Chain A
Amino acid sequence: MDAELILIQLFSGVALGAILVITALGLSIIFGMLGVVNFAHGALFMIGAYAGLWVASLTGSFWWGLLVAPIMIGVFGMAIEWLLVRPLYGRSVDDPLLLTFGLSYVLVEAVRIVFGNDGIPFPTPSQLTGVANLGVGYFPIYRLFVIVVVAVVLLLLWLALEKTKFGLIVRAGSRDPTIMRVLGVNISKVWLLVFGVGVGLAALGGVLAGPMRTVNPEMGSLVLIEAFVVTVIGGLGSLLGSVVAGLLVGVAISMTALFAPEMGTIVMFALMALVLLVRPRGLFGKAA
């Protein structure tokens, strides 16, 4: 096993991790602020891919799909929060989880009814096809683009949370919603928006994944599990945790691929079990 292979493998791991990060972030944001475990996250990821494909085929441009679909699905997410999740605040934490679990059934089946059971081709945008020589090996240009998009989104999120007034409210709201209410902040509106952003991120992940995978109704089911594993390893609600854990899981999978690629899925769960046994709240989890 030469050094070049290990290097390219490391790079593949980081690239795979970038995709895991984007799928996990939305889940983590929603949990961090609202305390809601969104079991429909995978289904919304899948719907994002379909929406991206739909917009792209209407406008003839992948870029419109990339821009519009996450917003569209984000608004749809707000509708879900307002209509279905909001009535459950104040009840058991399990209730939103169970509701979104049922919702994922409905969403997947609705897509099957509208778009059929077959997968649909999602061509890679022509500007981003082909492979680039990284010196240590070849890598698809589109996947490099995905890494860039994820990095930009992370930066924007960080700026929005750390440098704006809205970010301040969100961060404070996640600590103590009651105090925020006392201070006269309409926390319901903040939650609505946060849920929308979280769902929008899931949809963005779906659009980005579309050209790498086939778009089909079942594409979200494994994504949900992956996103859970990443957020739990990182610590639920911790954005930094999601980023670190996403990259960690990506690299763990790519390194496993060097000697036992068939263990690619199991290594994820093993890592999660291991982390939780040592740190029951994940790497960056807050104490209760």
Chain B
Amino acid sequence: MNDAIRNLGQRKISRRAALAGLGAGASFLAMPWVARAADDTIRIGFPTPLTGPYAAEAKDQVKSAELAIKLVNDKGGIGGRKVELLVRDGKLNGGEAATRTLELIEKDKVHAVVGALSSAVQLAVNEVTRARGVIYISISQSDTINEKKDSSKYTFHEAMNPHMTTAAVARHAFKKGNKVAHLVADYAYGHEMLRGFKRAQAAIGAETVGELLHPIGAPDYSTLMPRLRAMKPDILCISNFGRDQANSIKQAVDFGMKQQMKIVVPVLLHNQRLAVGPEVFEGVVGGANYYWELESKLPSAKTFNDAFRAANGGAIPTDYGAYGFTGVSSLLLAMQAAGGTDTEKVVAALEGLKYDVAKGAQHYRKCDHQSVQSVLVLESKKKADMKGANDFFNIVENEAPSEDVLRSCKELGFPA
């Protein structure tokens, strides 16, 4: 199976074809009023927030997902059937995403859904798909979707979860006896990251000297800095996401915190590093699912990058973009193994799947359908050390995939 997908990537793809792919929605445009005729095309729904603050990440996800589809279609599709990606704008709003997902299922009769880019949107899509027995592969970080309450036979989680990311980052960044201060966005995802860090700290023997919560979406962190400084930590852990990460790191640096402590984040975001610049991020350590530089060591990453570059004018795939590729690829491989789109068979195939499409070996754990995968720990480079415009990070650790970094099935509420 591994060889099969590697071979997929070695074909040259024309830019034109990829552009055509990017407009999968465009084919739909031509006749928005006519219900899709029943044919044997395999349709995959892809709700993603094309508008809103994560639009850049969403567009990367679409490009990567299109690439995965294209590679399979170039080889003749699945059992002779063409595969089509139906991209819909979920607008980073659970209600919108749920509506779009309903449309994808009820009108477009998709065979499976992949996508979402926030914990809330992912849970909204999941609520729609699991009630209707449709396969859903979520590609956004969350601990919640692993838990029994939100799980279903049809739900798979391709993205890493905060628990495994923080465990890997902590193992690398914390030492016994370190004093750690936490700045945490006050919502489920922030709390999940904090919980992960604290559990890892307990195992390592690093002490928590304080934790401050901040309102989600806060633009100013100046009133929190004096308290954080007064805690005199060795490490400042900033557990938030998106613009909040960019703003809080920027302001911590403005307040001269970096001279006194190391800044650690659960997920070091490619686009936020781009938005704030190398000087601010210099030396910040954080986790990632993917970084293009993996290609120097990993053949599957090289294959993925090359195909992506060929399709996108030399651009490299980003962290969240890669989720689009690994998520859709795993689904397509399972459909191939199942010989079609029969939901029960594809679910069984996904459960038994071992795949390596971009970042080394992966498989879905049986109980919660979490993708067991490698976790990267990155450190942001100094400007002087950058060898190119995209040379943002050093890979300081590549934690091998292991179920040990996940919460146990029992803890999540599944029968042992």
Contacts and interface: CB of A to CB of B under 8 A. Distances in A.
A and B interact: yes
Find the residue from B53, B213, B271 having the highest chain A CB count within 10 A.
B53
A110 to B, nearest CB: 14
A149 interface: no
Contacts of B274: 118-119
Find the residue from A12, A131, A216, A261 having the highest chain B CB count within 10 A.
A261
Contacts, number: 112
A112 to B, nearest CB: 7
A214 B220 contact: no
Interface of B: 52-53, 55-56, 59, 186, 212-215, 217-220, 222-227, 229-230, 243, 246-247, 250-251, 254-256, 271-272, 274-277, 279-280
Nearest to A124: B254
5 contacts: A118-B271, A131-B254, A138-B229, A213-B250, A261-B224
A116 B275 CA distance: 11
A273 B185 CA distance: 25
Contacts of A12: 222-223, 225-226
Given A118-B274, A123-B279, A131-B256, A264 B214 contact: yes
Contacts of B214: 261-262, 264
B275 A216 contact: yes
Interface of A: 5, 8-9, 12-13, 15-16, 19, 112, 116-121, 123-124, 130-131, 137-140, 142-143, 209, 212-214, 216, 218-219, 222-223, 253-254, 257-258, 261-266
A264 B218 contact: yes
B250 A262 contact: no
Given A213-B219, A266-B215, A120 B243 contact: no
B219 A120 contact: no
A265 B243 contact: no
B243 A119 contact: yes
A9 B55 contact: no
A139 B254 CA distance: 8
A222 B243 CA distance: 13
Contacts of B224: 257, 261
Contacts of A124: 254
Contacts of B280: 121
A140 B254 contact: yes
A120 B275 CA distance: 5
Contact of B275 (A19, A119, A212): A119
A143 B214 CA distance: 20
Given A131-B255, A214-B275, A262 B215 contact: yes
Given A118-B275, A123-B279, A130 B256 contact: yes
Contact of B247 (A123, A214, A265): A214
A58 B32 CA distance: 45
A118 B56 contact: yes
B230 A5 contact: yes
Given A119-B272, A212-B250, A254 B223 contact: yes
Contacts of B275: 118-121, 214, 216
Given A118-B56, A214-B246, A219 B223 contact: no
A117 B58 CA distance: 10
A57 B271 CA distance: 21
